Amino acid sequence: MKLPFVVWSFLAANVALAQVAESHTRRLSSAGVTENTGNGSTRLEPRSLGAKPFYAVAHRVLTSSGVQAAVHHGANALEIDIQGWKKGAFVKTWDLWADHDGSLSSAGDKVRDVFDTIAQERQRGANIAFVWLDIKNPDYCDEDADGWEYGCSILRLVNLARFFLQPLGVRVLYDFSTSRGRDYEKVRAMLNKNEAMGIAVRWEERSKLDSLGPRNKSQRIFSAGFFNWSFKYDSVKREIREAIDSQAFGKVFGWTLTAGQTDNANAMMAHTAIDGLIYGRAALSYDSTWSSYGGIEIIKSYLKRRPHERFLATARDSPW
């Protein structure tokens, strides 16, 4: 039976990606990449028996300079907002952008460029365990506009992550605002062992997790939060506790820890078995200022005082 051209194209692309992945892996090994914590002032504490890995996730990393700043501050994971769209009314080409709002002035760099920077940092030894891809407006992209291999399709996003990141040991979390839809179903159907999915499920729907999310529990990720903990801290903490107690998810995260929220952060880590926190500026992209890195300083200070509970995860600690 003769296969359609589009199928042959898909198979050829994946063969090429596999070859590149093998090349990346050989290059990483030959380069002798080792884990480091970014800046010289951050040192991994000795691990205690029974301590579990903890993830400090840099919030809204939308540019290559944001990647470099987060690595310097010691982040071991990066949250990146993704928009597939035409940047501006007079632009004809659809593309994937690191972009939270989807407005004329909100976009950072192209996703390809951000991923390339992450790969370069990883090859230099940066301790990046995973990227958290927060997909805004899923299904908005016109997948037929420029072809899946060049445009803004979810398939292109997956292939870019598998091309640039996974061969270097950087895992990927795909987070959707809904547990339904075209893009969600496509990702769920093609998930590999290095990938996980954020499950946007109402608590009363938790009995449907097997049908809505990945069957492998370790690849189901739950997160709860608010841009300003001062307003909803108690309810966020309650949601996180319920998700952890349900034992229905591989990892549970909270967001967004901002600079100065020391008491709330310490209480969250002390009173729940949370696996990580997104930290950074509440409503702005990540940069080199204290308002971006103040949150991770709180996390590192807590972990240093209580090494028997948690340690700052390295890229060797698979999150799923």
Which residues are annotated as catalytic? 59
| Predicted pLDDT at 1 | 44
Express each pLDDT in 191-211 by its tens digit.
999 999 998 776 666 677 777
In a domain, 35, yes or no: yes
CA 249, CA 236: separation in Å to the nearest integer? 17
Classify residue 319: in a domain, yes or no: no
pLDDT (tens digit, 9 = 90+) per residue, 90-119?
Answer: 667 789 999 998 777 788 999 999 999 999
In a domain, 27, yes or no: yes
Residue 318 domain flag: no
Query: In the predicted model, is pLDDT for residue 262 greater than 90?
Result: yes
**pLDDT computed for residue 102 by the predictor:** 75
Q: What is the pLDDT of residue 26?
A: 45
Q: What's the confidence (pLDDT) of residue 249?
A: 93
Question: Using CA atoms, how far apart are residues 227 and 218, in angstroms rounded to an integer?
Answer: 26
Residue 264's pLDDT band, with cuts at 50, 70 and 90, is: very high
* 320 inside domain: no
pLDDT, position 89: 57
Please tell me the distance from the alpha carbon of residue 212 to that of residue 197, in angstroms, as a whole number. Answer: 11
Residue 132 resides in a domain = yes
- Mean pLDDT calculated for residue range 273-277: 98
Q: Is residue 134 part of a domain?
A: yes
Domain of residue 149 covers 5-312
How many distinct structural domains can be found in the chain? 1
Query: What number is the average pLDDT over the span 174-188?
Result: 88
Q: What is the CATH number of the domain that holds 245?
A: 3.20.20.190
Asked if residue 317 is part of any domain, the answer here is: no
State how far Cα 212 lies from the chain centre. 20
What is the tens place of the pLDDT at every residue in 206-234?
Answer: 677 777 789 899 999 999 999 888 889 99
Q: Is the pLDDT of residue 30 over 50?
A: no
